[in-house]
Amino acid sequence: MVVRRHLQIRLDIMNYAQFIQIEDGHQGLIDKFDWLKASGIEDYKRKALDIFNLKKFPKKNDSQLIQQIIPRTPKDFEKKELTKSYYISNSICFIDTINWILSAEFVEQFRVYVPEENKDTIVFNYADLFQHILFEGLYNLARYEAIILKRKPEFTGYKNPIHHSIEMHLFAKQIVFGQSSFHAFRDREPDLAVSIIRQMVEIRLRNAFGIYGLYNRKQDIFEPLPMSLIFDILKKYKDKIDLSIPLEDIIRIYGWANIYLHSGLRNEIWKIILSLRYLDTFMTGKKTQAGSSVDWGIETDQSTIKNIHNDLHKLFNNPKGFWKRLLSFAKKEKFYELVTSNPQVKLNKTNVV
């Protein structure tokens, strides 16, 4: 996988400085929000359509955007960034994300908000967020010019594609002590949310179907079953399980998050926001006339759960193919046992069709 480091790009967009610049303070952000809603986003659209040589942006739903901008593997990422549709979809997601954040309700809440004196944290966070996302909106267009059109873009910008471990170390302190404290910096590190996305998807699925791993009673060692094995089994029963969103999209998001977890490869912030929004019902559950539960983001029936557990036991006792190499050691070791639990899902009386 080739990481394009230190890409210097230039772009003459309307007025680049005006597009990114935010005046200090609460009023500066209000003015920026009003400007973006009045003309800033439309200016960006016109410039993007001109660069992409389009009359209008194609309509895409969240699932389509996930499939087009979220790489499942490193090779998938390399392929995507060499296609025009990747940059178009990123621009669409950038625009959608700005419009989602700047809802009429939010803008009014922020307008009447009375900031605290001496560097208000809320004002700081939104100023930092918008400088970040507006820069990346321009950066996406300039990357398209440099990589796809093979021409020298007009805007000069820089982004380090790799998240340095020292930033992770500092943010870990912030998680413990809070953003406003004497023991941690208050700088945002949104890329680290990708690590949490990976973990929350994994834990949600393991808890949902009661699939955990192998426990060695003699050595007191727990070894989790690989998620790829769990995904393979869920694919077999996907027509009998309602995950709120397609299983293929969950697998894609998990694979994308895995890339960041093991490489520190940074992401455009709208990918993170879209993924969190897209996973919302899957994670927090559906609301129905009967009530709501965090478990109701996944629905199936008891027989499907039983079949999944039976398949795991069969695989454990008689592994085949790739899993034969992985699990044969466990079969030979009499101290190993398969760890499962009761499902945390909405159980229906009949199969999900």
SS (H, E, C) 80-96: HCCCHHHHHHHHHHHHH
Both tokens of residue 341? 């639990």
Which token pair is 180?
């406003």
50 and 146 housed in the same domain: yes
Are 258 and 310 contained in the same domain? yes
- Mean pLDDT across the stretch 117-138? 91
Q: Which of 158-162, 263-267, 276-280 has the lowest mean pLDDT?
A: 158-162
Domains held by the chain: number? 2
Residues 291 and 198 reside in one and the same domain: yes
334 and 211 belong to one structural domain? yes
For residue 261, name the pLDDT band (cuts at 50, 70, 90): very high
Ranges 14-18, 269-273, 346-350: which has the least confidence: 14-18
Please, what sign has the CA dihedral across residues 316, 239, 202, 290? negative
- 73 secondary structure, DSSP code: S
**Domain check: are 151 and 229 in the same one?**
no
284 part of a folded domain: yes
Q: How many CA atoms lie within 13 A of 98 on its CB side?
A: 26
- The band of 350, judged by pLDDT with boundaries at 50, 70 and 90, is low
**So what's the pLDDT on residue 333?**
63
Say whether both 157 and 219 belong to one domain.
Answer: no
Instruction: Examine the pLDDT at 110 and tell me if it is beyond 80.
Output: yes
203 within a domain of the structure (yes/no): yes
CA angle in degrees (0–180, nearest 5) for 135-60-266: 35
Confidence (pLDDT) at 5: 43
The answer to whether residue 12 scores a pLDDT higher than 70 is no
- Helices 84-101 and 269-278, packing angle to 10 deg: 70
pLDDT value for 37? 97
Asked if residue 332 belongs to a domain, the reply is yes
pLDDT value at residue 329:
61
pLDDT in tens, 33-71: 999 999 999 999 999 999 999 999 999 999 999 999 999
| 11, 142 Cβ separation under 8 angstroms | yes
Give the H or E element holding residue 211. Answer: strand 211-216
pLDDT, the chain, mean = 89
Is residue 25 located within the same domain as residue 156? Answer: yes
Count of CB atoms situated within 10 Å of the CB of 284? 14
Please give the pLDDT value at position 324: 67
Q: pLDDT at residue 152 above 50?
A: yes
- Residue 246 or 154, more confident: 246
Q: Is residue 330 part of a domain?
A: yes
Q: What percent of the chain has pLDDT over 70?
A: 90
For residues 319 and 333, give the distance between their C-alpha atoms in angstroms, rounded to a whole number: 14
Q: Say what the pLDDT of residue 145 is.
A: 95
Residue 322: which pLDDT band, with cuts at 50, 70 and 90? Answer: low
Check: CB of residue 13 under 8 Å from CB of residue 141.
yes
Element (H, E) at 301: strand 299-301
Tell me: pLDDT of 76 over 80. yes
11 falls within a domain: no
Residue 293 belongs to domain spanning: 194-348
Match 């990481």 to its residue by tokens.
3
Examine the pLDDT at 14 and tell me if it is beyond 60.
no
**Same domain for 239 and 309?**
yes
305-325: buried (b, 16+ CB within 10 Å) or exposed (e) per residue?
Answer: bebbbeebeebbeebeeebee
Residues 145 and 276 in one domain: no
Q: Which residues pair with 224 in a beta bridge?
A: 213
- Per-residue pLDDT, 118: 61
Domain identity same for 222 and 140: no
pLDDT at 95: 98
Residue 74 has pLDDT above 80, yes or no: yes
What pLDDT, on the 0 to 100 scale, is given for residue 274? 98
- CA nearest 154: which of 141, 163, 137, 173? 141
- Which pLDDT score, from 0 to 100, does residue 334 have? 66
Residues 129 and 31 in one domain: yes
Output the pTM of the full model: 0.89
Give the percent of the chain with pLDDT over 90: 68
Q: Is residue 7 part of a domain?
A: no
Tokens of 160: 């380090």
Residues forming a β-bridge with 336: 216
Residue 211's pLDDT is what?
A: 92
User: Do 234 and 297 have their domain in common?
Assistant: yes
8-12, 63-67, 229-233: least confident range: 8-12
156 C-beta neighbours (distance < 10 Å), count:
11
Instruction: Check residue 72 and give its pLDDT.
Output: 96
User: Is 2 domain-assigned?
Assistant: no
Of 161, 186, 217, which marks where a domain is finished? 161
Instruction: Mean pLDDT check: name the lowest of 23-27, 92-96, 209-213, 289-293.
Output: 289-293
- Is 171 within a domain? no
Looking at per-residue pLDDT, the higher value among 349 and 126 belongs to: 126
Q: Euclidean distance between the first and final Cα of the chain, in Å?
A: 40
